[in-house]
Structure 1
Amino acid sequence: MIKNTLGIKPLASAITLALMLGGLSSCSSASLDTSASSNASSNSISQSEQSAQNVMAQDTNNPFFKPYDTFAGMPDFAKIKPEHYLPAFKAGIAEQKSEIQAIIDNPKAPTFANTIEAMEFSGKLTSKIARVFYNLTSADTNDELRAISKEVAPLLSAARDDIRLNDKLFQRVKTVYQQDKSGLTVAQQKLLEDTYKSFTRGGANLNDADKLKLRALNEELGKLSLAFGDNLLAETNAFELVIDNEQDLSGLPQDVINSAAQTAVKRGHPGKWVFTTHRPSITPFLTYADNRELREKIYKGYIERANNNNANDNKQILAKEAALRAERAQLLGYPSHAHYVLEERTAKTPENVYKLLDRVWPAALNQARAEVAQMQKLIDSEGGNFKLAAWDWWYYSDKIRVAKYSFNEQQTRPYFSLENTLKGVFYTANRLYGITVKERTDLPKYNDEVRTWEVYDKDGKLMAIFMGDYYVRDSKRGGAWNNSYRPQSHIEGVNTIPIVVNVLNYPRPTGDEPALLTFDEASTLFHEFGHALHTMLSDVEYASQAGTSVPRDYVEFPSQVMENWMTQPEVLSHFAKHYQTGEVIPQALVDKIRAASQFNQGFATVEYMAATKLDLDWHSLSDTTPKDAAKFEAESLSNMGLIEEIAPRYRSTYFSHIFAGGYSAGYYSYLWSDILGADAFEAFKENGIFDKATADAFKNNVLSQGGSDDPMLLYKRFRGKEAGIEPLLRSRGLLAK
């Protein structure tokens, strides 16, 4: 299960935002140097400013050049066309150049207000465009948007480096950084610290030659990241398992069969059944299909994506990315890309992450081996003359689950319709934080399937707009994530409410049935709404510190906590009702869910941790020569002792989190956040799952604070102590009995 979100770190600039939203490398740029002479720079800026004004004055039909005339300032999706993006981006970049130059040319001595805050408030137009564009390239893309992305990326990258590598601007920032900070609030001190670091980490201390080299590295990395993502999308959409013999559907639930028939019609195979490597299709097939040969075929289709030595192969791309990241890190004074990345995370060093993994790995691997033995015993008892293989795991683990607990996830589907699960999410948020929602069908949307709600706080005041995009489609990348079209901020008495979106990939309704979710899929809905709450309950001054603008290894923590409420009897009884009869989910089935919750945790933990170790191995490299990707991966998996019955959750060629997203050297973040989440929920179990004081403490010290303070200090204020690892191990059944 992918649980992805984008935490946007300061530097102000919408340029950084655009790169993060676009899933590019942490630094990417083109080779344009504007930090030369002040006269040349000033003239260039002046021309850019005039050009931007001319463009906006002439193109009165471009919706980005004026305030949205919509409810709560939502993006006016109906009026935004592909041809609007490029001129708008160019105008936004020029406008911000002018804003930055005004900061540099300010004759007054540098202060927090005229330098740091002025930078924070710059780039609003580019931010406005980027939040629409990069959300859509993930959730509802097309060939036009992909082409524009390739053209825009180097422009944004160059603009970003133009800011970070501008020595005159850096000297102003440095002056403020060295001043007495006692008059600044905690949030202001954090903004100053982060802004200063963004310059030093962005190459501000490099000489001119090395700055040029950094720009070239950044530009190339940006291109490679885009190419990786495009190749993976093409490979994922290209694979299809076409079944024309009904006997080959043996074992599959009827709703899965119905969905495959719909996919077949959509893909031009009427009268047949089509399964794809999208999770809602492949997971039930691997779990229930009796045909072992077909399970092997679709499994290999999944794990060999972008690894087929064709036009979409990613091996050379990712190997070059890893090498260039190592080269860039060393240019900036770090031993490896992992050291560079983790300096800003709560983990601090790759050594700390490896130590954490080494505490969990042995117990998880031992449990996985025990699970293998159980399944092999079942295969042998059935007369199967074969050794358990990776494509057998879901199928036989489900058989054991049924035998051991009289439970499989298909039993839960009737009780978790999408509609009811949404009610459960909203009910939980209401009980915890007093939130209420009102659905609107008349608000702008980028796709007809999007749903929209007004969100009100406990005092009945509009606090956010929430959008939900729930069904799988070819124009949407896989997984599930939270993002925002506008962050919260509070400047000079004006509170800007956030516009938040959850994007998931559920199967569409079939026939007369509503969209029915498995227990695991419903849990993902709670998880992503945890991110949404983090975004919507934000109460900070600066937009760059709002909501999920926190370190990667902290951002998943609030959403991991939110998952816990779904399994609570009081919550289940409120929403987990049979879609036909209205019957509340039977307690006996709930007991089975709980009893089975620790089942297969060896597999789940090992496949995740294998991907985590693979990520760290790639990004702990100090060698700047591209590796043989296949050989490197094989050696990495061998060194960690991964058993052959389990593949990493993401192999290198389709590991988009790290090669086309923002999680390079950071995929461990889910486990790190799980530790915090499991420990935090202990407080609710101790005091009552809806205890007002505990909920208020969590909201006031965690959810509302975003990135305005040190995250571990915020956690300790809530919990009163550092997080322990035991609650996580206990929840997964990995503590020694």
Structure 2
Amino acid sequence: MNTLHITKTVKIMALSATVFITSCNQKKEPVKTSTAPEKTENVLLKEWTGPYGGTPAFDKMNLSDLKPALEKGMALNLEEIDQIANNSEAPTFENTIVAMEKAGSELDRVFTYYGILSSNMSSPEFREIQKEMAPKLSEFRSKISQNEKLFKRIKAVYNSTLKTPLEEDQQRVVQLTYEGFAMNGAELDAEKKKRYAAINKELSGLYTNFSNNILADEEGYVTYLTKDQLNGLSEPLIKAYAKAAKDRGQEGKYAVTNTRSSMDPFLTYSTERALREKVWKNYYSRGDNGDDKDNNENIAKILKLRKERVGLLGYDNFADWRLQNRMAKNPQNAMQLMNAVWPAAIARVKEEVTDMQAVANSNKDNITIEPWDYRFYAEKVRKKKYDLDSDEVKQYLQLDKLREAMFFVAGELFNFKFTPVADGKVPVFHEDVKVWEVNDKTSGKHIGLWYLDPFARTGKRSGAWATTYRSHTTFDGNKTVLGSNNSNFVKPAPGEPVLVSWDDASTFFHEFGHALHFFSSEVRYPTLNGGVRDYTEFQSQLLERWLATDKVIDNYLVHYKTGETMPKALIEKVKKAATFNQGFATTEYLASALMDMKFHLADPENIDVDAFEKETLTELKMPKELVMRHRTPHFGHVFSGEGYATAYYGYMWADVLTSDAAEAFAEAPGGFYDKEVAAKLVKYLFAPRNAMDPAEAYRKFRGRDAKIEALMKDRGFPVPKS
């Protein structure tokens, strides 16, 4: 998942209360909470120093500095905005738009630390500050988005450029800035502006509460196992669970934590069905336990407030408002894509369940397939159909080797070189975080730094994501990139390798694709480093394809004990099984995407969230043997902020582009390492970021629009007749 980037326009217009910039198994280094007298200069506001153009002072990050830094940063930013708004000179691109691009550097730095404290190092103390600051941040945003003098200047520049266009990227910045303000109520009358701001303030608190409830349920539900309950689990996994228990003061036991990376392998391999059910229910009931962490009331309020807010702007529903500047343009187009795939997905689930039930029956297991059985019996079917053992595949998927493979791909396609930075040279926020310098292989030019935070721990949100601490710009001096990838792999016992599934390896490549998008940027202005939500996942999804290329397999997929390359026969099994379980994968994702859209198209008045989810899935004929990938009460993409609200479909929209673009490589003389296609990829699909309309950028790369046929073929579904 690509985290929400705090570019200038995004920072002002769309920053959620949690800065959802948007998962336990190791010793946690607490953030300092000194109560010493306030320093004359807050470290969180200070300009970054040291090598590589300066880096965040993560080693000096002090929680007690956060609130005063946010308050001071907002005050400084508002002073800058007032100066721009009250400029007596006629509005121009330089004195209005560029001035806005430059404003807020101190606050940007504070938000970098805020993002780490929110996503990677959260604590009860931080969450109290977060809760207190959420409405203040919302008020701050409203003071900018509703500044009439400022918007008058922006609109004047916008209208002027319609008559006398600027350079293309400058024109794009003006357009995005103007549209961002207009979409967020800048042209409302005073009374409606007041209500608009009040709604945003209330939403900010709800988003914070929703997010913190999920984290509390992830931390609060742990399944402890005894030695006689480990049947079916691999030795490395058992050792990792033992370490997780020891870290929680339960030495001698084994802990399955309430995160996907811990839950998923347990459901796949454990023969203890009752425990599988318990682990499954813990995970999928997050935010839905009828206690003080229950999110259903939060969701109902969020939906109602979102509809009211866009109603002030004249829209019938949140989806119509949100999608107007996305590739889909409107909810009907997004639904059309999802509805084209959904029937094939649930039909495939029916076939998969039939195969699994047959295995269960042949084993005389005397069960009917339930959701906590799906992964377990799917694995048995995989072995039977393809003679493919996922655990055998994992022996060749070492995290360190996968990282080397990603660096190799980055070198071949993007001409990047990654070199380790010595420990201590660059401050990090946790001992597990490692840093690499990124340079151009040919010229040696410094491009930036890549931070990797790979392991799960208490206080770290679940999932995998990418973010930037600093983005590339050149309009105010050349700024190099500080990019970060964050994962939640189960930390191994000392001296043991981290072995991951093929799916987790794909996710690792996926998030690295976001990082390559950061490092490839050639934009001048901060706003252009943002993205269009149903497009920004495309670049990362595309990079997943290189995991299965021969050069990666032959050089980096080696057995963790013997060092032998993954056998060709095993690779062939993996490739033959590429469409295996696509019913499950597509259906659990699409169910979440469809629910996201349907919630925002529905009348939220007096909505019963649990009942609506159940009734809608029944209408969709959702197979009872699986659930949504993200059930509504813990659907953080959609309800911890607004980045993916009515936009979760974007992963599939982007995957249409991905499948189509992959065919361009497959058809090229050099295959996935074809230099000519790679050069076009970087030039049109990575380097421009949001400086170019995504549809236009894709046509420049491919020579035409993307087609759905490639997606259907990739998933092994029937290809619709044109």
Q: Smaller-chain TM-score range?
A: over 0.9
The 1:77/1:405 distance shift into structure 2, 3 A limit, reads same
Q: Deviations over 1:344-397 (max 9, x none)?
A: 211111111111111101111111111111111222222232321111100111
Q: Deviations over 1:99-155 (max 9, x none)?
A: 111112211111111111111211111111112211331012222222222222222
**What is the aligned partner in structure 1 of residue 689 from structure 2?**
706
Deviation at 1:18, TM superposition (A): 4.7
TM-score (norm 1): 0.92
Q: Is 1:208 aligned with 2:205?
A: no
Give the letter aligned to residue 214 of structure 1: Y
CA distance in structure 1 between the partners assigned to 2:3 and 2:110 by the alignment: 17
Following TM superposition, the consecutive aligned residue runs of length 4 or more in structure 1 with deviations greater than 6 angstroms are: none
Among 630, 644, 647, the alignment partner of 2:624 is 644
Give the letter aligned to residue 92 of structure 1: G
CA distance in structure 2 between the partners assigned to 1:673 and 1:695 by the alignment: 18
**What is the aligned partner in structure 2 of residue 242 from structure 1?**
224
The 1:24/1:185 distance shift into structure 2, 3 A limit, reads same
**What is the aligned partner in structure 1 of residue 647 from structure 2?**
666
Deviation at 1:682, TM superposition (A): 1.1
CA distance in structure 2 between the partners assigned to 1:670 and 1:229 by the alignment: 21
Deviation at 1:315, TM superposition (A): 0.8
Q: Is 1:72 aligned with 2:43?
A: no
The 1:71/1:17 distance shift into structure 2, 3 A limit, reads farther
The alignment partner of 1:602 has SS state of helix
Give the letter aligned to residue 471 of structure 2: P
Deviation at 1:337, TM superposition (A): 0.9
Q: Is 1:19 aligned with 2:16?
A: yes
CA distance in structure 1 between the partners assigned to 2:7 and 2:401 by the alignment: 38
**What is the aligned partner in structure 2 of residue 695 from structure 1?**
678
The alignment partner of 1:78 has SS state of helix
CA distance in structure 1 between the partners assigned to 2:607 and 2:165 by the alignment: 51
Q: Is 1:513 aligned with 2:480?
A: no
**What is the aligned partner in structure 1 of residue 471 from structure 2?**
487
Contact map agreement 1:453 1:465 (CA 8 A) in 2: yes
Deviation at 1:270, TM superposition (A): 1.9
Contact map agreement 1:8 1:544 (CA 8 A) in 2: no
The alignment partner of 1:627 has SS state of coil
The 1:626/1:131 distance shift into structure 2, 3 A limit, reads farther
CA distance in structure 1 between the partners assigned to 2:373 and 2:484 by the alignment: 36
Give the letter aligned to residue 582 of structure 2: Q
CA distance in structure 2 between the partners assigned to 1:57 and 1:558 by the alignment: 44
Q: Is 1:427 aligned with 2:411?
A: no
CA distance in structure 2 between the partners assigned to 1:292 and 1:75 by the alignment: 47
Contact map agreement 2:86 2:149 (CA 8 A) in 1: no
TM-score (norm 2): 0.94
**What is the aligned partner in structure 1 of residue 379 from structure 2?**
398
**What is the aligned partner in structure 1 of residue 28 from structure 2?**
none
The 1:130/1:61 distance shift into structure 2, 3 A limit, reads closer
Contact map agreement 1:6 1:21 (CA 8 A) in 2: no
CA distance in structure 2 between the partners assigned to 1:262 and 1:429 by the alignment: 34
Matches within 5 A, 1:435-446: 435-440=416-421, 442-446=425-429
Contact map agreement 2:534 2:654 (CA 8 A) in 1: yes
Q: Percent identity?
A: 36
Contact map agreement 1:260 1:274 (CA 8 A) in 2: yes
Deviation at 1:415, TM superposition (A): 1.5
Contact map agreement 2:407 2:417 (CA 8 A) in 1: yes
CA distance in structure 1 between the partners assigned to 2:116 and 2:253 by the alignment: 34
Among 563, 587, 600, the alignment partner of 2:544 is 563
The 1:57/1:579 distance shift into structure 2, 3 A limit, reads closer
Give the letter aligned to residue 680 of structure 2: A
Q: Is 1:449 aligned with 2:432?
A: yes
Deviates more, 1:480-489 or 1:97-106: 97-106
The alignment partner of 2:255 has SS state of strand
Contact map agreement 1:12 1:121 (CA 8 A) in 2: no
Deviation at 1:641, TM superposition (A): 1.1
CA distance in structure 2 between the partners assigned to 1:533 and 1:16 by the alignment: 26
**What is the aligned partner in structure 1 of residue 169 from structure 2?**
187
**What is the aligned partner in structure 2 of residue 321 from structure 1?**
302
Contact map agreement 2:349 2:583 (CA 8 A) in 1: yes
The 1:71/1:176 distance shift into structure 2, 3 A limit, reads closer
Q: Is 1:657 aligned with 2:633?
A: no
Matches within 5 A, 1:322-721: 322-440=303-421, 442-458=425-441, 459-491=443-475, 494-546=477-529, 549-621=530-602, 623-661=603-641, 662-687=643-668, 688-721=671-704
Give the letter aligned to residue 79 of structure 2: S
CA distance in structure 2 between the partners assigned to 1:360 and 1:61 by the alignment: 52
Q: Is 1:310 aligned with 2:291?
A: yes
Give the letter aligned to residue 706 of structure 1: R
**What is the aligned partner in structure 2 of residue 31 from structure 1?**
none
Deviates more, 1:714-723 or 1:7-16: 7-16
Contact map agreement 2:713 2:719 (CA 8 A) in 1: no
Q: Deviations over 1:416-453 (max 9, x none)?
A: 21111111000011011211111015311011100100
The alignment partner of 2:522 has SS state of coil
CA distance in structure 2 between the partners assigned to 1:214 and 1:701 by the alignment: 38
Contact map agreement 2:21 2:467 (CA 8 A) in 1: no
The 1:66/1:375 distance shift into structure 2, 3 A limit, reads closer
The alignment partner of 1:19 has SS state of coil
The alignment partner of 1:5 has SS state of coil
Deviates more, 1:503-512 or 1:285-294: 503-512
CA distance in structure 1 between the partners assigned to 2:214 and 2:233 by the alignment: 28
Contact map agreement 2:151 2:181 (CA 8 A) in 1: yes
**What is the aligned partner in structure 2 of residue 219 from structure 1?**
201
Among 68, 72, 92, the alignment partner of 1:91 is 72
Give the letter aligned to residue 616 of structure 2: S
CA distance in structure 2 between the partners assigned to 1:21 and 1:220 by the alignment: 13
**What is the aligned partner in structure 1 of residue 151 from structure 2?**
170
Deviation at 1:223, TM superposition (A): 0.3
CA distance in structure 2 between the partners assigned to 1:90 and 1:736 by the alignment: 55
Contact map agreement 2:399 2:498 (CA 8 A) in 1: yes
Deviation at 1:314, TM superposition (A): 0.7
Give the letter aligned to residue 142 of structure 1: S
Contact map agreement 2:18 2:118 (CA 8 A) in 1: no
Deviation at 1:269, TM superposition (A): 2.0
CA distance in structure 2 between the partners assigned to 1:428 and 1:564 by the alignment: 11
The alignment partner of 2:466 has SS state of strand
Deviation at 1:510, TM superposition (A): 2.2
Give the letter aligned to residue 428 of structure 2: K
Give the letter aligned to residue 479 of structure 1: G
Deviates more, 1:345-354 or 1:274-283: 274-283
Give the letter aligned to residue 360 of structure 1: V
Give the letter aligned to residue 716 of structure 2: G
Among 181, 186, 192, the alignment partner of 1:199 is 181
Structure 1's unaligned 5+ residue stretches are 26-55
CA distance in structure 2 between the partners assigned to 1:24 and 1:80 by the alignment: 18
Structure 2's unaligned 5+ residue stretches are 23-36
Q: Deviations over 1:427-484 (max 9, x none)?
A: 0110112111110153110111001000001311110110000011112100000000
**What is the aligned partner in structure 2 of residue 49 from structure 1?**
none
Q: Is 1:8 aligned with 2:23?
A: no
Contact map agreement 1:13 1:123 (CA 8 A) in 2: no
Q: Deviations over 1:220-277 (max 9, x none)?
A: 1010000001111111111121222x33221111222111111221222221222122
